Chain A
Amino acid sequence: MRSRKVFSAMMAGVGLAGLTLMAPLTGAAAQEGKAGGTLKLLANAAAGTIDPHINYTLQYFQINYILYDGLVTFRKTGDKTGFEVVADLAESLPKPDDGGKKYVFTLRKGIKFSDGSDLTTADVVASFQRMFKISGPTTGTLYNGIVGADKCLKTPATCTLEGGVVADEAASTVTFNLVAPDPDFLQKISIPHAAILPAEAPLKDAGTVPIPGTGPYMIASYDPNSLLKMVRNPHFKEWSKEAQPAGYPDEIDYGFGLTDEAAVTAVENGQADWMFDPPPADRLAELGTKYAKQVSVHPLTAMWYAPMNTNLAPFNDIRVRQAVNYAIDRAAVVKLFGGSNLAQPSCQILPPNFPSYAPYCPFTANPGEKWSAPDLEKAKALVAASGTAGQEVTIITEDTAVSKSIGVYLQDVLNGLGYKTSVKPISQNIQFTYIQNTNNKVQISVSQWFQDYPAPSNFLQVLFSCASFNPGSDASVNISGFCDKAIDQKMVEAQTATIADPAKGAELWTAVDKAVTDAAPVAVLFTPKRIDLISPRLKNFVFSPQFYWIMSQSWVE
């Protein structure tokens, strides 16, 4: 997932293992929570539809986790166990059966939606059917392994998932049957796209009309031009503190429209409690000094990268893609993002502290585990060997300051390699889908990927498998159009091995990571960190590696 605009997946990883600047904000476990009050959040703009089965942005994933529940979820905690899957609407975590192809969930009793209706097994079945009927953005990549999914993908309107999702109302169970064992299945159904909604939920994008949920809060009103207002769900009763704890604030107001600069000032002054967007670069030094106590920095399992179209010249030549990787001064790019305290250079696909991660960097002056410096001579030699110098190249970036400045830097790099390069910044609202669609003939772009769930497949399979490449579609997250049958086979082997022998599976995924990195369908630039600025009155800022800030667990004074 991508940041506001399509964010994918939440954060990650590293969480707490890595650098965490700012001590005073967290670790308030000993404090007594103070219920009540209104939490005031700010974002530059709304993030589109509030339909949890459709919205694929971090901005709304973050609130959907307190509005909706799935059968399972990630543990809502501020330590590294935040990556663990726990039972949510299900009574317990099921053990896979039938060689890893069958999962039976038993629903908890007495849970109600925010409209007062009871949660039933029919709602679960209808929710999974709905995901396909409305052509949810991840049905083809995350949920295509459910029996019957192939038919649903072909003809969404008549989707039944027959044999794939089966309810037994009397026993209060729902059985999932998979086409093949999937070690990541529970993680995949832990994200908001698998939220359980009332069976009566509209079979179209809900847009700005809230759909009832089971979380501690519900949406009272939503105007994408001004405000999203969340209030307590009157029918919520805490059933699992680790899955869905009750919240502290009575109301959460998410305001839209202020610029980043204005939002920083508002939070500094206590007029708002938090801002979604990263603070603008020219305020970072001020925040790091005058307002250091209100700032927290956390590593993410994510990457900023430059996808190169492996089906278009000059990047259909592996030597050119490798040359770009050799030529990029990643330390310089890190400066554009805010410096080494906000990002770390990287040249491999999997981010640090992620499952199967093993440090690897072939594209540096001294190839080995870490990037050290660009190797321009090698890069120029590769371009010369490819005979592509002099060709025209267009870089597509978002029209944000950081993305554009990285684009201008890459333009400089490509010009230095002998190409005639131009940069086209386009609105961040459309850039991510624009660069995915092969009809737009995008050669190279600047993009980001944030983890949806903590498994290597979320980076390697989702971004680089042949199945993720859908020519002519806006939903083709394999932006490079990379399709290597041999590497695809290795992914399947890694996936299969993980079920029987997780250690062996992890090894295979590490090998896949190296293979994809060597093929250079993208130039990984750096691993970013998340910077959060909060107001002085906000207490108990809990940062989960999966959810980022768990807003329901903070209170205001």
Chain B
Amino acid sequence: MDNLSAGQALVRSHRGAEGPWRTAWRKLRADRAAIMAFGVLVLITAASLAAPLYARYVAETDPFATNLNGEVVIHGETRQVLEPSTEGLGLGFTPLGPTWDFGPYMLGADNQGRDVAARLLYGGRNSLLIAGAAALICLGLATLLGVVSGFFGGLVDTLLSRILDVLWAFPIFLLAISLSIVLITQSITIGPIEIRSGSLWLPIFIIGIVYVPYVARPIRGHVLSLMQAEFVTAAIGIGASPWRILLYDILPNVITRVIVFVPLILALNMMTESSLSFLSIGVQPPDASWGTIIQDGQGLLYSRPIVALAPGLAIVISVLALNILGDGVRDALDPKSSIRVA
């Protein structure tokens, strides 16, 4: 057994080598910035998921109910949630400012007397949910279209490419805003599925659609280049069926690229959702998202800037973390690509 042939030795050494996923994971772990970004995202997600607990046990309030006549005890002093101006002409009310204590109104109140911190967490939940679900729709559709278009070519490719061209021709936000304005006030019924107006599924659906061409095109291009690769030629040469080639040779190589898109699309979705909600055509009141809270805070920029700044900061941190993580994932999985979306 000590006299192994060269071929046998090569096979043994390959068996001991780490696979591509393990290599990617090792590379990703070595990327401190990406790991830190991942940690930040985990924290934000965990905090957002804990929103109901925070609202119930810390803020002790319903963040969706108005509380215009509410009072709260802060540092032993009873204060109104909306404090009237008592000086001069006595005009206007100012919402309670941040207490900075881990308790009710830690970040103050909005103009409806609601706890900003609790709404921020609920808003994060909706923002992450919409961004995540829309990313799934977008990547699923884009992968399907890109692979089918690139693999089958011919008329199928021409047809699908032109459809994507039409979508591509519209500026993303114009398309998203137009769809939102048309759909947001009415329900959509597609067969047995009915999406009611005000449902979170509407922004999910809209955001999921508008980025499809931006992902499907690079995937189609990648499939076209894979079709010219030697291992595909070899598979064809040994008589493998098209479905076998698609499932065993093409898809595994496409998946890594799709994974690279995940954090990038998540970041874009999050910004798009916030923009639509800010314009009142995304998440509908009394539901919250970071975009709606910024809009609520817009009218309080002068007196209570924290209402707009807090969700703004949350968006900045999340999107930054997603982009850093996205770079790390790309370097780990697909170092030769230079993926950019939009």
Indicate with 1 or 0, residue by residue over A304-338, a CB within 8 angstroms of chain B CB atoms. Answer: 00000000000000000000000001011001101
Q: Which of B91, B198, B300 contacts A338 (CB 8 A)?
A: B91
Q: State whether the Cβ of B66 lies closer than 8 Å to any Cβ in chain A.
A: yes
Complex CA gap A423/B93 in Å reads 23
Residues of B near any A CB (own CB < 8 A): 65-66, 68-69, 82, 84-85, 87-94, 111-112, 184-185, 197-198, 280, 284-286, 298-304
Contact between A336 and B299, CB atoms less than 8 A apart: no
- A-side contacts of B88, CB under 8 Å: 288-290, 292
Query: Quick check: B280 and A332 within 8 Å, CB to CB?
Result: no
Residue of A22, A405, A407 near B89 (CB, 8 A) is A22
Q: Given the known A-B contacts A284-B85, A339-B84, A401-B299, are A409 and B93 also in contact in the complex, defined by CB atoms under 8 Å?
A: no
Does B93 contact A335, Cβ atoms closer than 8 Å? yes
Over the window 402-442 of chain A, the binary record of Cβ atoms lying under 8 Å from chain B Cβ atoms (1 yes, 0 no) is 00110111011000000000111110000000000000000
CB-defined contacts of A280 to chain B, threshold 8 Å: 299, 302
B284 partner residues in chain A, CB cutoff 8 A: 422-424
* Chain B residues in 8 Å Cβ range of A227: none
B297 to chain A, nearest CB (A): 10
Q: Which residues of A contact B66 (CB under 8 A)?
A: 332, 408-409, 412
Q: Which residue of the partner chain, among A22, A281, A331, contacts B69 with CB atoms under 8 Å?
A: A331
- Residues in A with CB closer than 8 Å to B92 are 281-285, 288, 338-339, 342
Interface CB pairs A-B, < 8 A, 25: A281-B111, A281-B299, A282-B92, A283-B302, A284-B92, A285-B94, A287-B91, A288-B85, A288-B91, A289-B88, A289-B89, A292-B89, A295-B89, A332-B66, A332-B68, A332-B69, A335-B93, A338-B91, A401-B298, A404-B280, A405-B111, A411-B285, A412-B66, A424-B184, A425-B280
Does A261 reach chain B (CB closer than 8 Å)? yes
Shortest C-beta distance, A224 to chain B (Å), equals: 22
Q: Which of B90, B112, B304 sits near A282, CB closer than 8 Å?
A: B304
State the Cβ distance, B214 to closest chain A Cβ, in Å.
Answer: 30
In angstroms, how far is the closest chain B Cβ from the Cβ of A435?
Answer: 13
In the complex, are the beta carbons of A288 and B185 less than 8 A apart? no
Known contacts being A332-B69, A409-B112, is A282 close to B302, with CB within 8 Å? yes
A residues less than 8 Å from B65 (CB atoms) = 412
* Any B CB within 8 A of the CB of A250: no
Say how far A371's CB is from chain B's closest CB, in angstroms. Answer: 15
Q: Is the pair B85, A408 in contact by a Cβ cutoff of 8 Å?
A: no
A186 to chain B, nearest CB (A): 37
Given contacts A283-B302, A408-B66, contact A341 B90 (CB under 8 A): yes
A531 touches B91 (CB 8 A): yes
Tell me if A21 counts as interface (CB < 8 A to partner B). Answer: yes
A423–B285 CB distance below 8 A: yes
Closest-CB distance, A267 to chain B (whole angstroms): 15
Establish whether residues B85 and A285, one from each chain, have CB atoms under 8 Å apart when the complex forms.
yes
Cα–Cα, bound, A342→B92 (Å): 8
The answer to whether A261 touches B69 (Cβ under 8 A) is no
Whether B93 and A338, one on each chain, are in contact in the complex, defined by CB atoms closer than 8 angstroms, is yes
A25 at interface by CB-CB < 8 Å: no
Kindly provide the distance from the CB of A342 to the nearest chain B CB, expressed in whole angstroms. 6
**A389 part of interface (Cβ distance < 8 Å):** no
CB–CB A339/B93 < 8 A: yes
Would you call B198 and A329 a contact (CB within 8 A)? no
Assess the A289–B111 pair: CB atoms within 8 A: no
Q: Please, which residues of chain A bring their CB within 8 A of the CB of B303?
A: 282-283, 285
Chain B residues with CB under 8 Å of A358's CB are none
Please name the residue on chain A nearest to B82 by beta carbon: A335
State A193–B198 Cα separation when bound (angstroms). Answer: 40
In the assembled complex, A557 has its CB within 8 A of some CB on chain B: no
Within 8 A of B (CB), among A273-301: 280-290, 292, 295, 297
A423 to B285, CA, bound (A): 6
Query: How far is the CB of B177 from the nearest CB of chain A, in Å?
Result: 13
**Min C-beta distance of B276 to chain A, whole Å:** 13
